[in-house]
């Protein structure tokens, strides 16, 4: 938590810091602009609270909590590479990410005390593509370069359910060329990578199964443990998949990515999905009752839970 605990500017009150802007201190401006005065309010301090003991600790330069420990960045000049350290509740600091990486944390696995880190040092730029940063996996006793590069790890990363895999989406090159593959990072086995086939785009994943659109525009279910790829049906471009824990869904179809089965809900449009596979949505309706563009569904709504079964579509089965 961040807090103001002292009147550091001597104005007699505890004031929350105001963010800096590029505006000057002029009092009169044209309509739509305003001025703020950074540096005239009090200094923030950062503290962490143990949920087990209730103990509060002040931690300068903290980056994040990781399980029952926390990660701090070493003190270094502004914009200079800095190392990260993992600190225990007893205050013992261990090296976590070296200054040679100059790491930016973008995914934390608290149960396994592992972090995915984007190294700001060592970024690369391939021909006609945006700059990409190198991804590494760091833990108490593991420091592994994964051999993959992503443009913006915070945006192109997806933790899938409560499973042990993390999905890294890569970036389509700006001009031609083959797309680099999306990959699954297996946190349980310390960074084992499972790349998707060339030209495929990952849609959703859990511990064992993943959905992707193949280069041939087919929707494919992959069994990660067996290496089996099952073609389900043609894939419609830009169809969005939502995911709740082990369930992925799009329209009336519900995919159980733990068991590798598919169910079909008797709903035209699913608005909410629960962690045990119940969907809340709009039943099938006639064309004249569909909402116009930019209008909301009006109901009636109902709950439905499909019975998962092998997929029998109009274009075949698997």
Tokens of 227: 């290496």
The residue with tokens 């709950």 is 303
What pLDDT is stored for residue 84 in this prediction? 92
CA-to-CA distance for 270 and 88, rounded, in angstroms? 45
What pLDDT is stored for residue 284 in this prediction? 72
- Residues 6+ positions from 143 with CB-CB distance below 8 Å: 97, 98, 136, 137
Number of helices (H), then strands (E), belonging to the chain: the values are 0, 28
Tokens of 197: 């086939």
Q: What is the pTM of this model?
A: 0.68
CA-to-CA distance for 92 and 243, rounded, in angstroms? 39
CA-to-CA distance for 16 and 38, rounded, in angstroms? 10
What pLDDT is stored for residue 96 in this prediction? 92
CA-to-CA distance for 160 and 140, rounded, in angstroms? 23
Backbone angles phi, psi at 191, to 5 degrees: 85, 15
What pLDDT is stored for residue 207 in this prediction? 82
Per residue in 198-237, is it b (16+ CB within 10 Å) or e — as a string? eebbbbbbbbbbbbbbbeeebbbbbebeeeebeebbebee
CA-to-CA distance for 280 and 267, rounded, in angstroms? 8
150-to-65, 169, 209 alpha-carbon distances in Å = 24, 8, 23
The SS3 of residue 158 is strand
Decide: 187 and 110 in contact? Cβ < 8 Å.
no
Over the chain (318 residues), what is each successive 10-residue block's mean pLDDT? 74 71 51 49 74 75 83 82 86 88 86 86 68 84 82 62 70 48 82 82 86 89 85 81 85 84 80 87 69 69 78 40
Tokens of 117: 């880190």
Q: CB-based burial of residue 160 (10 Å sphere; 0-12 exposed, 13-18 middle, 19+ buried)?
A: buried
What pLDDT is stored for residue 15 in this prediction? 76
Decide: 249 and 238 in contact? Cβ < 8 Å.
no
In the chain, the largest separation of any two C-alpha atoms, in whole Å, equals 75
First to last CA, the chain: 51
């Amino acid at each position: 938590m961040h807090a103001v605990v002292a009147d550091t500017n001597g104005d007699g009150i505890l004031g929350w810091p105001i963010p800096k802007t590029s505006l000057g201190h002029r009092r009169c401006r044209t309509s739509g602009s305003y001025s703020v005065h950074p540096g005239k309010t009090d200094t923030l301090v950062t503290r962490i609270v143990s949920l087990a003991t209730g103990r509060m600790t002040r931690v300068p330069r903290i980056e994040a909590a990781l399980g029952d420990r926390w990660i701090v960045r070493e003190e270094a000049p502004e914009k200079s590479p800095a190392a990260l350290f993992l600190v225990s509740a007893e205050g013992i600091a261990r090296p976590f990410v070296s200054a040679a990486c100059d790491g930016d944390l973008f995914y934390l696995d608290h149960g396994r005390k592992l972090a995915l880190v984007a190294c700001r040092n060592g970024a690369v730029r391939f021909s006609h593509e945006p700059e990409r940063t190198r991804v590494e996996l760091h833990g108490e006793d593991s420091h592994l370069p994964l051999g993959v590069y992503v443009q913006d790890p915070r945006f192109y990363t997806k933790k899938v359910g409560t499973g042990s895999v993390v999905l890294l989406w890569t970036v389509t090159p700006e001009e031609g060329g083959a797309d680099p593959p999306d990959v699954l990072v297996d946190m349980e086995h310390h960074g084992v990578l499972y790349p998707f086939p060339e030209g495929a785009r990952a849609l959703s994943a859990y511990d064992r199964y993943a959905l992707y659109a193949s280069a041939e525009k087919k929707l494919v279910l992959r069994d990660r443990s067996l290496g089996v790829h099952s073609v389900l049906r043609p894939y419609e471009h830009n169809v969005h998949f939502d995911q709740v824990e082990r369930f992925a869904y799009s329209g009336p179809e519900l995919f159980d990515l733990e068991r590798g089965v598919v169910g079909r809900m008797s709903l035209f449009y699913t608005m909410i999905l629960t962690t045990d596979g119940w969907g809340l949505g709009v039943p099938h309706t006639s064309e004249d009752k569909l909402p116009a563009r930019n209008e909301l569904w009006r109901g009636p709504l109902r709950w439905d839970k499909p019975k998962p079964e092998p997929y029998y579509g109009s274009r075949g089965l698997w």
